Structure 1
Amino acid sequence: MIPLHSAVAQLTSGAARPAGPTDGAARLPGLRADPVVVTADGDLPTVPTTLLAEESRDGDGAPVSVARPPGSPAPPRTVTTMTTHTITATTDPAVHPALTAAARAALDAYTAARAAHDRATLAEAVATGADGTPTLRIDRLVEDAVIDALRPHGVNILSEESGWLDHGSAVSLVIDPLDGSANGAAGVPLTAFAAAVAVDGEFTEAYTVWLDTGRAWWAHRDQPVPYRTSGRRELSGAALSLLRPHTAEPGPAAAWWAAASRAARVRILSTTCLEAALVAEGATDAFADACSDTHRLVDLAAAAVMVPRAGGVVLDTRGRPLVFDTDLTRRWSGIVAATPELGAELADVLTTAADAVTAPAAPDAGS
């Protein structure tokens, strides 16, 4: 027997595959859905190691191998139909049904849009979003599908393109239907759906899906999660993701370089929601907007639930609180870090560098 969180890591470490009919229609396409038996060993959920040797079969009957501990016997063929992955859909009573409905709609619409249109069509600006930025055609196609899927749930919606849709509910979903839309339009496989549930203005639950692979992260503020941040406390030697540098703005440009020059590795993925999820699971140490005030609530809301549960922190470079607000013109320079110590150091490095080049010059003593 091994702990459940270890089983999750083993079962989900390989490539994703399409979930077929034998996996149950309620699971999202593209997700691993290897069945296992979960039992209790005292207070600790455990999984028999033999079941990690299960050769699952997808909807077409093709075998999908899962790593087996050396020398372990072949597993029994009859197992319960429960997945250890945190990304089960509507069959999991712990996940808010509106979250899974929205995620499924986003994934289906994104996949259909990529199949039906060329890059130029998907990248065409068709409107101006509620946040004041251009809405690409691929944004519109995905968001329209998400909003349609949420109608039966009666929740309020705050979404990147359409803004605030008030349905008189105590429950609101703060959604970025397609984060990294320029990536998606171009065919770069770095896009995400992200949403957070707010009940009476308090964030309670979040769901992020990497749309190009089906990997996903679910979190509830009152429940443990099976992933952890790297635990890094210092910027020196860190793996750091950043928004692209704003070279025309002296303050953000200086801040970007100050942080980048201290890190061991720098990545620019152009998808905040996915980069936050990678911090949550320890794949990278931190992510930041270098004082450009680019982030909106839809970019950071899911991370604000997910990352603290994994041991990290989400904050603003200037200390502005991240709170529920229906005004999408409100901006933050978000930091997502593996630990509060790393987050605080990163905020200090960024703001110090930005302020050094934007502060008014001291008056000439001789004048």
Structure 2
Amino acid sequence: MIGWPVADPVIPTVAHPVLAQAAKAASDAFRAARERHDHAQLAEKTAVGADGTASMRLDLLVESAIAEVAEAHRINLLSEEIGFVDRGSAVTLVADPVDGTANAAAGVPLSAFAGALVRDGTPVEALTCWLDTGRCWHAVAGAPAPYRTSGRGELDGAAVSLLRPHPRNREAWWRVTSRAARVRILSTSCLEAMLVAEGSTDAFADAGSDTHRIVDLAAAMVAVPAAGGAVLDVRGRALEIDPDLTRRWSGVVAATPRLAEEIAGAVLG
């Protein structure tokens, strides 16, 4: 069993009730799952998610709690495991219930809930919660966030987080890491994006492996620009709120648009 306590989320009072309730539900379900299940049970793959990959028990338990919030508000839900639940609403909650599930199931305290409210296809508000600590980041599209990126514009000497290298992108991965001053692999895209937003690191990227789904990037698409940064796809593909979770991107989250473009250029060679 994982003995460390799960802190209550510190949710800003200005957060939309749907996001606030979803984050609280995710945190409560995350805490209950860790109290009732051991490492192996949390990590057990018990279903196949909407993106075609296996779902861990922890994913499903937390997602179920978030789904109840969306149902109570009669809005659509787009979530990692269940996929798209269409209630005919103009508003959709796009959620990654537990980003970094493998970390969480193993007891590594690096996982997050990330949610974005999308109105008529456009993300308008986001809330990300670091599940182990309760630390939260909130943002509204078009309004400045209460945190800022580092402002860095150059890859040379930057602190960069990356997804792990794959056989298909090792050269691209090396082109980025060979220029950075510091490289981290934390295995939690949504949390790493918020560390960029608040200036703790300069950038986070998938070096061309096309691993990201839109649920991995939706909250960052609101929060990072609000903090002065940029979110884009390495290959220039539009980041679209698409209910088809088999679609993939190679996201770049950076302190500035200039840095984002420079990382994309390094990946593409």
Range into which the TM-score falls when normalised by the shorter chain: over 0.9
Of 25, 44, 59, 1:105 maps to 25
* Superposition map of 1:13-32 within 5 A: 29-31=8-10
Q: Deviations over 1:288-315 (max 9, x none)?
A: 0010000000000000000001000000
Distance in structure 2 (CA, Å) of the matches to 1:269 and 1:161: 22
- Residue 114 of structure 2 corresponds to residue 191 of structure 1: no
Aligned to 2:210: 293
1:325 and 1:30 map into 2 onto residues whose CA distance is 28
1:138-153 equivalences under 5 Å are: 138-153=58-73
Matched, 1:126 2:43: no
1:346 correspondence with 2:263: yes
Task: Judge conservation of contact 1:179–1:193 (CA < 8 Å) in 2.
Answer: yes
Q: Which runs of 5+ in 2 are unaligned?
A: 1-5
Q: Which has the higher relative contact order, 1 or 2, with Cα contacts under 8 A spaced 6 or more apart?
A: 2
Q: What displacement does 1:30 show? A: 4.8
Contact persistence 1:156–1:167 (CA under 8 A): yes
Aligned with 2:254 (options 310, 324, 337): 337
Map residues 1-367 of structure 1 onto 2, 5 A cutoff.
29-31=8-10, 87-88=11-12, 92=13, 94-246=14-166, 248-249=167-168, 252-352=169-269
CA offsets per residue over residues 256-298 of structure 1, 9 Å max, x none?
A: 1110111000000000000000000000000000100000000
Asked if structure 2 preserves the Cα contact closer than 8 Å seen for 1:183 and 1:189, the reply is yes
- The 2-side partners of 1:225 and 1:315 are apart by 19
Deviation at 1:223, TM superposition (A): 2.1
Q: Any conservation in 2 of the 1:288–1:333 contact (CA below 8 Å)?
A: yes
Cα distance between partner residues in 2 of 1:206 and 1:308: 12
> How big is the alpha-carbon RMSD for the aligned residues of Structure 1 and Structure 2?
1.1
What is the letter of the counterpart of residue 340 of structure 1?
P
CA contact (8 A) 2:46 2:57 kept: yes
CA distance in 1, matches of 2:9, 2:83: 29
- Counterpart CA distance in 2 for 1:289 and 1:173 is 24
Q: Separation in 1 of the partners of 2:15 and 2:87?
A: 21
Distance of 1:157 and 1:30 partners within structure 2: 21
CA contact (8 A) 1:101 1:150 kept: no
SS of corresponding position for 2:151: coil
Q: Deviations over 1:42-95 (max 9, x none)?
A: xxxxxxxxxxxxxxxxxxxxxxxxxxxxxxxxxxxxxxxxxxxxx32xxx3x42
TM-score normalised over the length of structure 1: 0.71
- Choose 1 or 2 for highest CA Rg: 1
2:3 aligns with none
TM-score relative to the length of structure 2: 0.96
CA–CA separation in structure 1 for the residues paired with 2:126 and 2:9:
20
Aligned amino acid, residue 59 of structure 2: D
The alignment partner of 1:194 has SS state of: strand
Deviations 1:83-114 (A, max 9, x none): xxxx32xxx3x422111111001000111111
SS at match of 1:112: helix
Code of the aligned partner of 1:266: V
**Contact preservation (8 Å) 2:9, 2:24:** no
What SS is found at the alignment partner of 1:257?
helix
Residue identity in the other structure for 2:50: A
Distance 1:192 1:165 in 2: 22
Identity in percent: 62
Q: Structure 1 stretches of 5 or more lacking a match?
A: 1-16, 19-28, 32-86, 353-367
Counterpart secondary structure, 2:117: strand
CA distance in structure 2 between the aligned counterparts of 1:155 and 1:101, rounded to whole angstroms: 13
Give the aligned residue type for 2:20.
T
Provide the rounded CA distance (Å) in 2 between the counterparts of 1:121 and 1:139: 12
